Amino acid sequence: MMNEAKTVSLPAHPERATMEGKNKFLGFWLYLAAESVLFASLFATYLALRHSTMGGPTGKELFQLPTVFLATVLLLTSSMTSVMAILSMRENKASRMKAWFIVTLLLGAAFLGLEIYEFTEYVKEKHTFTSSAFGSAFYTLVGFHGSHVLFGLLWISTLLIRNWNRGITLYNAPKYYLASLYWHFVDLVWVFIFTVVYLMGKVG
């Protein structure tokens, strides 16, 4: 039986030390494989429809690379800070881990804020979800990613609040680990969006 009070000595990989942790570890990787296929399908759809602007503004006219670049930097940095959080977790340094996760949350929230700002700008230029197939595909792909970011923020916050006073245990270590894995995945998808949607869109 796991004991919450026993936080003193942890194995090197607390997230995989129990059978439950091992299952979660494998199960989550499998889940991410499914998510990859999901995003791949969305990318394919986007690529097929990205020129169907029906007289509305094209990606080339719309996209403001500086804003998107800033968003990218924020999100990639947040991936790094979540790595720091997990390293702290493995060293059993709870408060350092919490601090790094909070930085991660702030960076993620800033990214989302920028995305919302970006979307409102586009809507002002008459590029909406219903204006054309390009609009539908763009907001679906980028919005799917955005909702993943939002979900990640909620997830990490819940974890932090729930475990705020509990230290790192064999029970919650796998949970922290999976949340950070999810976060990396979401960031990785963004790299593809940045390339396929924005860079390729700018080139035309």
Partner 1 sequence: MSQMAHAGKKPLLWDYLTTVDHKKIAILYLWSGLFFFVLGGIEALLIRIQLMFPGNTFLVGKTYNEIMTLHGTTMIFFVAMPLVFGLMNAVIPLQIGARDVAFPFLNALGFWLFFFGATLTYVSLFTGSAPESGWTGYFPLSDNNYTGHGLSYYAIGLQISGAGTLIGGINFLATILNMRAPGMTLMRMPMFAWTTLVSSTLILFAFPPLTVGLFLMIFDRLFGSHFFDPAFGGNVVIWEHLFWVFGHPEVYLLVLPAFGIFSEVIPTFSKKRLFGYHSMVFATMLIAFLGFMVWVHHMFTVGLGPVANAIFAIATTTIAVPTGIKIFNWLATMWGGKIRFTSANLFALGFIPTFVMGGVTGVMLALPPADLQFHDSYFVVAHFHYVLVGGVVFGIFAGLYYWWPKIFGRLLNETLGKLHFWFFLIGFHLTFLIQHYLGLWGMQRRIYTYLPGQGFELGNLISTIGAFLMAIGVLFFVANIAVTFRKGAVAGNDPWDGRTLEWTLPSPVPEYNFLRLPLVRGLDAFWIEKQAGNKEMLPAEPLGDIHMPNASFLPFLMSLGLFIAGLGFIFKDQYNPAFLYVGIGGLAITLLTMFLRSVIDDHGHHIHHEEVESMEGGASLS
Whole-angstrom Cα distance, residue 10 to residue 139?
A: 44
Q: Does 191 bind partner 1 (CB under 8 A)?
A: no
Cβ atoms of 133 and 54 within 8 Å: the answer is yes
Tell which positions 53-82 bind partner 1, by CB under 8 A: 53-54
The stretch near partner 1 (CB under 8 A) out of 22-30, 72-80, 118-126, 190-198 is: 22-30
Q: Does 162 bind partner 1 (CB under 8 A)?
A: yes
Smallest distance, Å, CB 58 to partner 1?
12
**Length reported for the chain:** 204
Q: At what angle do helices 94-124 and 65-90 cross, to 10 degrees?
A: 160
Instruction: Name the token pair of 166.
Output: 């509990």
Nearer to partner 1, 166 or 195 (CB): 166
Q: Does 22 bind partner 1 (CB under 8 A)?
A: yes
Q: What phi, psi does 57 have (nearest 5°)?
A: -65, 145
Q: At what angle do helices 133-162 and 173-193 cross, to 10 degrees?
A: 160
On the 0-12 / 13-18 / 19+ scale of CB atoms within 10 A, 93 is middle
Instruction: Out of 10, 42, 97, 181, point to the residue binding partner 1 (CB under 8 A).
Output: 42
- Interface map 130-159 toward partner 1 (x if CB under 8 A): xxxxxxxx--x--------------x--xx
Q: Does 52 bind partner 1 (CB under 8 A)?
A: yes
Smallest distance, Å, CB 145 to partner 1?
13
Smallest distance, Å, CB 80 to partner 1?
25
